[in-house]
Amino acid sequence: MTLEYLSQNRAFNGDQFVCSHMSETTGTEMTFSVYVPPHMPGVKLPVLWYLSGLTCTHANVTEKGEYRAACAEHGIIFVAPDTSPRGEDVPDAADEYDFGKGAGFYVDATQEPWAANYRMRSYVERELPDLIAEHFPVDLTRQGITGHSMGGHGALTIGLRNPDRFRSVSAFSPIVNPSQVPWGEKALSRYLGEDRDAWREYDAVALIEDGARLDHLLVDQGTADNFLEEQLKTGALAMACAKAGMKPEIRMQEGYDHSYYFISTFMAEHVAWHAARMGA
């Protein structure tokens, strides 16, 4: 698969790349970032996937996430894809920040006009890992996944659907029960249709209710997050895990909001937590 390198910058004795390629899955050009820490030639490294939130691209965490020092310390490759397909011919809802471009919700859409391009589930689960493995020194037997907000929803649901693939799953202020909140109801109904049973595989609480399990789960949520009560509902995840006998680490961080000030504060802890579970 052809890969174009848009930029390369030295950081903490490793290299930060921004790349693009033509995606067969979305039918569009996709851009993502990859940080490769210093390593010996021929060594394969564990990989941590980071999924971004509403309105974001790969650039938000790349510029604000403050993950590189920790990834260099622990020897972890960090990959951050975009949140949706892009391009002039891609359908959009230009006046809606929470739907369309920048709001792919990590689903494979089934409804028109979204179905042709909005296939972020397949892109993140299948196409992008194959591309990364072809061009970077990753060990796909040691993977972790994390994300923020809508990307936290993506990390949780992808992790729950693929427990044998990911040794560790974490999230910052995730949308844990999207089928029961305004952001999720809007996105899932328009991407997937009105059959709520079809939404369950894209809802972390529903997946746990239906039998999915994770051995290693970490969630950080700020108490001053203005989306907590209406959109995120961290308590619903805690209740579902308790009923299922899961023992996640859910940390309510006093005074923190929904921003990258919050994410960057705890990013190094998340990287270290994943490193311990991925054998880094």
Instruction: Supply the DSSP symbol for 247.
Output: -
Burial tier of 83 (Cβ tally within 10 Å: 0-12, 13-18, 19+): buried
Enumerate residues 6+ apart whose C-beta is below 8 A from 132: 34, 47, 77, 79, 138
| The pair of three-digit structure tokens given for residue 255, joined into one six-digit string | 């005074």
Instruction: Tell me, yes or no, if 135 is annotated catalytic.
Output: no
| Residue 49, CA distances (Å) to 113, 122, 244, 254, 274 in order | 28, 14, 26, 26, 11
- Cis geometry, peptide bond prior to residue 163 (ω within 30 degrees of 0): no
| The pair of three-digit structure tokens given for residue 26, joined into one six-digit string | 């979305």
| The pair of three-digit structure tokens given for residue 71, joined into one six-digit string | 């990834």
Enumerate residues 6+ apart whose C-beta is below 8 A from 104: 83, 84, 85, 118, 120
List the catalytic residue out of 23, 52, 84, 149.
149
Instruction: Tell me, yes or no, if 270 is annotated catalytic.
Output: no
List the catalytic residue out of 82, 92, 108, 225.
225
| 217 within 8 A of 160, measured Cβ to Cβ | no
- Of 167, 202, 174, 201, the C-alpha closest to 187 is 202
Strand boundaries in the chain, DSSP class E:
4-11, 14-22, 29-36, 45-51, 77-81, 138-147, 166-172, 217-222, 249-253
Instruction: Tell me, yes or no, if 210 is annotated catalytic.
Output: no
Paired residues of 217 in beta bridges: 169
Which residues are marked as active site? Answer: 149, 225, 258
